[in-house]
Chains A and B, each alone.
Chain A
Amino acid sequence: MPQPTPAPAETELPRFPLARGCPFDPPAEYAAMRADQPVTRVRMPSGQDAWLVTRHEDVRRLLTDPRVSADREHPNLPLTEAVTPAGRRAIAAVGRSLIGLDPPEHGARRGMLITEFTVRRINTLRPYVQGVVDGLVDDLLAGPRPVDLVAALCLPVPSMVLCELLGVPYADREFFQHRATVQVRRGVAPEERQKAGAELRSYLDRLITEKEANPSDDLLGRLIVRNREAATDDDGGGASPFDHDLLVGLAMLLMAAGHESTANMISLGVAGLLENPDQLSAIMSDPAAIPMAMEELLRYFAIVDTMPRVAKADIEVGGVSVPAGDGLLIGFASANRDESVFPNPDTLDVRRGARHHVAFGYGVHQCIGQNLARAEMEIVFRTLFARIPGLKLAVPLHELPFKDDSSVYGLDRLPVTW
């Protein structure tokens, strides 16, 4: 039984986030941590201390451990970026809709949603996604070169798909998309981004009010109906799993989770394949290999570096004793480069054939939209490289603006030409 590990003196604590060396790789220190100290105490930008978990096995174990909480309102939940009290309240509000809940409350809430995200349901969205991608690639081919692929393709695809998923009326889609994009564009002044976010929130609030009066056949409309059925169901104890505010929080969560993250995977994936032409030609010569190639891009880039959690009880993991109440940083990116699970983990190998990465997390909170993300990625990569086979970076890789200071990794811009 390991002894409780005394916290190292303050000056010795590694500062989180650690710096990246190669822009495609997680911080190099993760490999040494996996080997020597797989659960390491780190200091957050917020001043909090947390335990960084770096091995694949420990990551999966903790994410299926009922003593580990996802509570976004716990004071020790590690924050990867310094946030204002207002930001903290926004995180809590989104968390209450789904991602910050623990079992059994979480299961009841997620259970209301999973029919919307089954493999079969998502497959019915594929023709819409294909149409969106075809239209955007038409515009690319008709437009000037070089062009920023983030603005022209990576962000619009998921935001248009979110409109379709949530049931945003066609007349409102330009309004919605513009604000959705401004909200996540980091070149834009913070006040302008906050304004766009607030407008988006009040738009979704109104949209949900309309759908409550007249439920439409889309995710939000169907959820409103299921909500009422659950509330009147004798077995449901009269509980209404999603009230109005929780629905708004959920819509904001789906925006946050399904927009920028997908855009980041597309931009990094395009850059990654353009830098590894042998890998690109491997998938172009065998379109049937594209789905598994997407799994490899997800593993390799692991855009969500860490996921915050809190220990609800004392937990022995990776040779240390994590005391109850301490913050945990679950290392997705590190786990995806764990050499004990993925041979030659730092090599992008589209033929690897490995699904057991944790790019979408693990445990009951594993990304509910993962199959939508897969569909979007498959269609974008298949279509983009087939229709613009001469696609290339317009600037050298090292000049690309990587999001080094963001909790979700990606590219701010991706100048390409052909």
Chain B
Amino acid sequence: MSRNLVRVLADRDRCVGAGQCVLSAPDVFDQSDQDGRVLILPHAAAIVPPQSEGSLGATVPPDSEGLLGAAAPPRSKGLLDATFPSHPKGLLGATVPPDSEGPLVDEAIARAAVDLCPSRALSLARP
């Protein structure tokens, strides 16, 4: 079974900076040094490693597959890079508007983060 990939969208206006997403998926999420609100790391999809069980909420079924690898559908790297230029973490905040198209992320990891977010600032979209 291939691993499903989804996009995570962040509404930074709703974010209250609790940091739950950063704790549950530090490879995907960060918090801006400028305003404390959520940042989605630009190359999250490419760097999502297999998460150890236990770092996710129990509502998330265990992964059936270890590595993202070939399961990732082809996507336009150029487009993604254009949307999310490689910035130092702290600078990204200013460049990502709310509800911008986020990178592709493993669905289980994304669902756990969406579920944990207390302000409902995160949502999923099919790629």
A residues engaging B (CB < 8 A)?
A: 63-64, 107, 110-111, 113-120, 289, 292, 341-342, 351-356, 360-364, 366-368, 370-371
With an 8 Å Cβ cutoff, the count of chain B residues facing the other chain is 29
Judging by beta carbons under 8 Å apart, are B19 and A355 in contact? Answer: no
* Chain B residues near A111 (CB-CB < 8 A): 17, 35-37
Closest chain B CB from A110 CB (angstroms) = 6
Choice from B19, B33, B56 contacting A370 with Cβ under 8 Å: B19
**Closest B residue to A350 using CB positions:** B54
Assembled-state Cα–Cα distance A363/B20 (Å): 12
Judging by beta carbons under 8 Å apart, are A355 and B20 in contact? Answer: yes
Assembled-state Cα–Cα distance A165/B120 (Å): 28
**Closest A residue to B15 using CB positions:** A114
Choice from A63, A117, A342, A355 contacting B17 with Cβ under 8 Å: A117
Assembled-state Cα–Cα distance A341/B58 (Å): 8
Judging by beta carbons under 8 Å apart, are A353 and B18 in contact? Answer: no
| Given known A64-B120, A366-B18, A366-B118, contact A114–B55 (CB-CB < 8 A) | no
Closest chain A CB from B55 CB (angstroms) = 7
Would you list 13 pairs from A and B whose C-beta atoms are within 8 A, ordered by A residue?
A: A64-B120, A110-B16, A118-B19, A292-B54, A352-B54, A353-B54, A354-B58, A355-B112, A361-B118, A366-B16, A366-B18, A366-B20, A368-B18
User: Which 6 residue pairs are nearest across A and B when measured between Cβ atoms?
Assistant: A114-B17, A114-B36, A353-B54, A366-B118, A354-B58, A115-B36
Judging by beta carbons under 8 Å apart, are A117 and B115 in contact? Answer: no
Choice from B31, B112, B118 contacting A119 with Cβ under 8 Å: B31
Assembled-state Cα–Cα distance A119/B34 (Å): 13
Known: A292-B54, A356-B59. 12 other contacts (CB 8 A): A114-B16, A116-B36, A117-B19, A118-B36, A119-B19, A120-B30, A351-B54, A354-B58, A360-B18, A364-B119, A368-B16, A368-B17
Q: Which of B14-55 contact A (CB under 8 A)?
A: 16-20, 22-24, 30-37, 53-55
